Structure formats: structure tokens, C-alpha cells
Amino acid sequence: MRVSLFDYFLPGDRIAQDPRPRGTGPLLVLDRASGAVTHRQFSELPELLRPGDLLVRNDVRVRHARLYGKDAQGRLIEIFLLEPLEKERHRWLALARPGRRAKEGSAIGFEEGMVGRVERVRDDGKREVRFDRPIDEELLDRIGHVPLPPYIHREAGAVDRRDDRLAYQTVFAKESLAVAAPTAGLHFTNEILERVRGRGIAIADLTLSVGAGTFKPVTAEDTSAHSLELEDVLLPASTLARVRETRRDGGRLVAVGTTVTRALEAAARLPKGLDSGEDLRFSTGLFITPGFEFRVIDLLLTNFHLPRSTLLMLVCAFGGRENVLAAYQAAIDGGYLFYSYGDAVLIA
């Protein structure tokens, strides 16, 4: 499909710059069969689900992957860590901004006296950086910064705001494997999750390690010319069993976010698929666009996504392009806030 079909205009003041208190924002509900839109509050979500439903979350934790250092001339450089290139975690694949200050062979100084050297610049612009000490999560918690997306404006190199450190992480996050948050999960409080359970709705987790591909813009004119980078998925046997039980008993699968949707739909296409009795570990680059056959999910809880993005394409595939774009316009007219710190939509 033409990428231009997934465009819309968003006034700049609708891009959320600050987090709301969890669970306090509005929730737009879209009926994908009729296109009807209703306006609710996120705190009402438990009452919008049915006993016997299964809520599936991505429990990945966001790594404080953004490092700020200085080159030999004292100029600021951002090094955005993507993944370790060795078990000892001295060498990392990273993005650099501005790239001209991170050429091959250049040394960069960081807090606590740490030094990194750019060993290689790949053809795609990513850097292979060797540090003089292993980069572990304890170190990143001290000197790393929250990897907020670029449309949330913060001063480069400034100390993280406490509310960013708290808000850009779900309350159920576990292992630090992601460089961006699964933002649909940010709305949940422990109290709302307890109310979900109290209504007889089960909750299960999977882990999709959100990678740098989530930032990759679609530059092609047609969706067929774009691809997604692989991301690692862990689908525990216990979650697979819950999925099978829910489907057997007539309950609905509620995906909390596009990452959960991609993980479940990709798993359904594996040889054993959802019938596996063991943990499933795999990588997926599943790119979902309109015309996709959904085999697993019945409801999708998600945020509002950028124009022309792969995330918006997935949402349009599930809810119907015209329905979704009309709902987005209703959200704009209704004062909703968009993107990572923005409000939520439930497509049923």
C-alpha cells in the first residue's frame, strides 16, 4: 500500500511532553465493526473487558540507554546503546549524534571517567563502540539517561527528570532489554491491574525486546519496500497455556500494545505456534499492514502513533484504516494527547 495513505495532520501542541499520572487520562474506544467512537476514562478499562478475557502485557524493562559524553574538543556527543556485541559487555552497537563527532578511532569521555572508542562505523551509520569497562545495568542506572523519543523535548545532556525516570517504565517491567517503552502499558497502575483481576480477567506476560527499529522512519513510498529489524521474543509456556485456555473457553485476547500483537501473531505462524508446551524464544520482524490475517488477538489497547509509522499501519490493519484515521481525527478534535506520553485507544 502507499505509505501516504497513513498520513494525518497533528497540531504540535497535541504531542504530549509530560506524563500524566498513570491511569488518569482519557480512553478512546473504537468499535472496529461499525467505526463508532466513544470517549471513556482509562480507569474504566476493567469494566470494558469481560470475565474470561485474557490481558497480555509486554513486561520488558527500558534500559537507560542514552549516554552523553564529550569528544577531544569538549563537544557533547550522544551515544545511544542498542545491544552488547559480546558477553563481557565491553563492546556495544550504538547510534551517535552528531555522527561527525563519532568517527572511526575517535575517543569519547563519559561520566565516572569512562572512555569509549569508536572501532567501526557500519554502512547503516551504526557505531561499534568499545568501552574501558563492562556496561551493566547498575552503571547505566547511574550515568545513563532515559531514552525518550525525540519528539519529547528535553535538554541534551541534562540530568533526567525524576518523573521521566518513573513514567517511562511500566509498573510490571522486569528485565532491561528494551531501548523504548511498550507505551500502552504505561497507563496501568497496580490498582487498575488488581481491578482487572478482580473481574475474573486473567493477566499474562511476554517479553519483546523493543529495539532501535521502533525509531526507523518509513522512507519508502510503498509499504512493500520497507522492512522491520528483528526483535527478540520470549513467550513463556505459562502464557501460551493461558492463551490456549482463553481461546478454548470463548474468552477474548486483549493485546496491550503493538509489541504484544506482533509477538503473538508471529508466534502463531511458527511450526508449533501457540500449541507449544515449552517457552518459545524467537526473533521476529513481522510487519503488519492492512490485509493481514489476525489469528490471535481480539482487542488492541494502544497509544496514538505517528503518521506514516509502522505502528499506525498495524493499528489500521486491525481496526480498519478509515475507521482508525477517523478516530484519530475525533481524538484531535476532542483534545486527546498523542504518542508515548499521550492517551490510549481501545479497539474492540
Is residue 329 domain-resident? Answer: yes
Counted domains in the chain? 2
pLDDT at 194 over 80: yes
The grid cell for 332 is 484531535
Whole-model pTM: value is 0.96
Contact, 313 vs 270, CB < 8 A? no
Distance CA 189, CA 224 (A): 39
| Domain membership flag for residue 176 | yes
Does residue 162 lie within any of the structural domains? no
Residues 26 and 100 occupy one common structural domain: no
Q: What is the CATH number of the domain that holds 329?
A: 3.40.1780.10
pLDDT in tens, 220-271: 999 999 999 999 999 999 999 999 999 999 999 999 999 999 999 999 999 9
- Judge if 140 and 274 occupy the same domain: no
State residue 213's pLDDT score.
Answer: 79
Q: CB–CB of 176/137 below 8 Å?
A: yes
Mean pLDDT rounded to a whole number for the chain: 97
Assign residue 77 the CATH number of its domain: 2.40.10.240
Mean pLDDT of all residues in 35-51? 98
On whether both 139 and 184 belong to a single domain, the answer is no
Q: Which domain holds residue 47?
A: 3-62+168-347
Is 274 within a domain? yes
| Domain match, 177 and 297 both | yes
- Whether residue 310 sits in one domain with residue 195: yes
Query: Is pLDDT at 43 greater than 90 in this prediction?
Result: yes
The verdict on residue 158 lying in a domain is no
Do 172 and 90 fall into the same domain? no
The neighbour count for residue 333, using CB atoms within 10 Å, is 8
